[in-house]
Amino acid sequence: MTVRTKITAILFVAAGLFTWSGPGSGAERRPAPEFVGITQWLNSAPLSLASLRGKVVMVNFWTYACYNCVNTIPHVNRLHDAYHNRGLVIVGVHTPEFPFEKSTSNVQAAIGRFGIRYPIAQDNNFATWTAYRNQYWPAQYIVDRGGKIVFSHSGEGDYETIDRTIRNLLETGS
């Protein structure tokens, strides 16, 4: 890690935009909230975190008209392609920033446009967003096999750390 990267990480931590509470960090791990108030499931039948116990899960909050969210989609698609068959489940939680983003047909069009193949939960009333105490688009929460959030990140970037965290959880069986 370069000095610049370390300084950037420190600034993000101080700003509350990046948190790490992975194994061995000494930070408290909290149970991942259940998916609640979902108005529509796309690319999947309804899911629950309870049904995903035993898998590594990445909960990805996004909205299709958010520039920063759109920039992260290729990385999230790559994670799905690389790790889906090894036990990773990505759940995109589409939480609208603007009223027109509540339209299921608009979300479906965006899913097609961006080539998203993982499950998408439409959280039009911010219920799951609130349960996670989320504040930003995009935001990722990585949940271990036991249902605990072990990593969270807001905004673009830090793709290497996200990838490494998922890979380590899949390899260690945690």
Residue 101: phi and psi, rounded to 5, are: -80, -5
Q: Which domains does the chain have, with CATH numbers?
A: 17-172 (3.40.30.10)
* Residue 11's pLDDT band (cuts 50, 70, 90): very low
Q: Residue 84 above 70 pLDDT?
A: yes
pLDDT of residue 20: 41
pLDDT of residue 174: 65
pTM of the model: 0.84
The counts of H helices and E strands in the chain are: 5, 8
Q: Residue 7 above 60 pLDDT?
A: no
Which residues does 101 contact at the CB level (< 8 Å), separation at least 6? 63, 64, 65, 94, 107
